[in-house]
């Protein structure tokens, strides 16, 4: 079993591995996507050290926050099976 190389992350990693940063788990991949999108929207590009900074910082709780956000959406916009 291999584990995510991000600081403080103890999730198993499945298939993604960087020569520079080692393995990354699916949860951190999804969070990294958000980080990259925000950086691109803010600056029109990516800071050269953005991934190394990401890998050196603890999980922000993004995945837990995402679960909560989806619950809010499910309540407000339940799937309409009749449509
Ligand atoms: Zn991870």
pTM of the model: 0.74
Q: Is residue 82 part of a domain?
A: no
Residue 17 lies in a domain: yes
Residue 12 inside a domain? The answer is yes
Look at residue 53 in the predicted model and tell me its pLDDT. Answer: 94
What pLDDT does 68 receive? 86
Span from the CA of 72 to the centroid of ligand 1 (angstroms): 25
Residue 61 Cα to ligand 1 midpoint, Å, equals 11
Q: For residues 22 and 24, give the distance between their C-alpha atoms in angstroms, rounded to a whole number.
A: 7
Distance 75 CA to ligand 1 centre (A): 29
The domain tally of the chain equals: 1
First-residue to last-residue Cα distance in the chain? 44
Q: What is the pLDDT of residues 17-28, one digit of tens each?
A: 999 999 999 989
- Domain of residue 42, residue span: 2-76
Residues paired with 13 in a beta bridge: 2
**Domain for residue 81, yes or no?**
no
């Amino acid at each position: 079993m291999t584990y995510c190389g991000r600081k403080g992350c103890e999730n198993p990693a499945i298939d993604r591995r960087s020569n520079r940063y080692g393995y990354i788990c699916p949860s951190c991949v999804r969070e990294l996507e958000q980080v990259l999108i925000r950086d691109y929207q803010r600056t029109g590009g990516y800071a050269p050290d953005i991934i190394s900074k990401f890998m050196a910082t603890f999980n922000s709780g993004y995945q837990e926050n995402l679960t909560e956000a989806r619950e809010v959406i499910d309540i407000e916009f339940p799937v309409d099976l009749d449509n």
